[in-house]
Amino acid sequence: MPSGKKRKRRKIATHKRKKKRRANRHKKKK
């Protein structure tokens, strides 16, 4: 099932993007 594998990969990317956004928010607060 290649479709399932692709979906999992996309989820990881989303998580990484959220982490970056959180760091940016912290910088603005400082």
Which domain, by its residues, includes 29? 1-30
3-state secondary structure of 1: coil
First to last CA, the chain: 46
Outline where DSSP puts E strands in 1-30: none
pLDDT at residue 4 in the model:
57
pLDDT at residue 22 in the model:
72
Q: Count of domains in the chain?
A: 1
Please give the backbone phi and psi of residue 20, each rounded to the nearest 5 degrees, phi first: -65, -40
Residue 21: name the closest of 3, 10, 11, 13 by CA: 13
| Cα(6)–Cα(19) distance, integer angstroms | 21
Predicted confidence (pLDDT) per residue in 1-30, tens digit: 555 566 656 666 666 666 667 766 766 665
